[in-house]
Chain A
């Protein structure tokens, strides 16, 4: 059994309205040191396999097809 952890974030070149709202919130709370904030998604996926190479390939396909919209989002993943 492997576990994939997938992180999906809005691309740096694309405006992230949620990130901006959180940044504004932190500033108004007095955390003036806060620069840019990006809000993303964290996805845990249990995989019924022990073949790391295959799992990696499959997770990449999941990201490309469904988990991230690559027009506006970047993704990265970890396998453990």
Chain B
């Protein structure tokens, strides 16, 4: 299984994402510069955190028009796995791959700490190895992670089971609608989340709860493609 980690000017979690793939599942992974236009050789594309194009105007607003985004949209339509983490989530929202938008954290503070998430949907390629309702410890680091969508969109997200992660009840760090920490598209192959699973892949980092996101991806992909264990 081939992984790509997109790199925009200002991405700063690209190396962590690359290492997380390497260390948790040992699959081939490549950095892909934002000017590239072909993602056809990859099965899973990670849009990492950071401050793409300096986050001028709005987080992710300028990145949505990068050359690589057309290829990313095509990959998403083809059913390939796409994960946007933090700034990557903001980019997926701005580009319309996921519904909603980001507001500044209600506290106006940049929040950087461990956060407890509740896994709400285990029926995605990214969460199959978690238990429904399980609480996992995944760090956050953002100033603009207050997910917002209107009431109609929220009802749609609920009806289609698109809410993948919520912050633990009473511990919402940014004021997001319905405590949302991560959502997927209707088809379930595109995930956006504010917390950083790539920063929680080993007990030495404070938590290994993010590792199962990567093992979930590989095992779901193998099931789907009937790939050999070492494939």
Contacts and interface: CB of A to CB of B under 8 A. Distances in A.
A10 B58 CA distance: 12
B108 A14 contact: no
A54 B126 CA distance: 47
Contacts of A66: 57, 61-62, 65
Nearest to A24: B108
Contact of B106 (A10, A17, A41, A72): A17
A67 B146 contact: no
Interface string A2-29: 0000000010001101100100000000
Give the interface SS of chain A, mostly helix, strand, loop or mixed. Answer: mixed
A14 B147 CA distance: 11
B54 interface: no
Contacts of B94: 69
A18 B61 CA distance: 19
Contacts of A53: none
A71 interface: yes
B58 A69 contact: yes
Contacts, number: 35
Interface string B176-204: 00000000000000000000000000000
Chain B contact residues: helix, strand, loop or mixed: loop
Interface string A37-80: 00001000000000000000000000000110101100000000
B105 A17 contact: yes
Given A14-B148, A15-B175, A17-B146, A69 B101 contact: yes
B104 A17 contact: yes
Given A15-B106, A17-B108, A72 B101 contact: yes
Given A66-B61, A67-B57, A71-B148, A18 B100 contact: no
A69 B94 CA distance: 8
Contact of A18 (B57, B58, B104, B148): B104
B84 to A, nearest CB: 16
A10 B148 CA distance: 12
Task: Give the residue among A15, A21, A69 with the most B Cβ atoms within 10 A.
Answer: A69
B154 interface: no
A15 B107 CA distance: 12
A48 B107 CA distance: 42
Interface of A: 10, 14-15, 17-18, 21, 41, 66-67, 69, 71-72
21 contacts: A10-B103, A14-B103, A14-B148, A15-B106, A17-B104, A17-B106, A17-B108, A17-B146, A18-B108, A21-B108, A41-B57, A66-B61, A66-B62, A67-B57, A69-B94, A69-B101, A71-B100, A71-B101, A71-B148, A71-B150, A72-B148
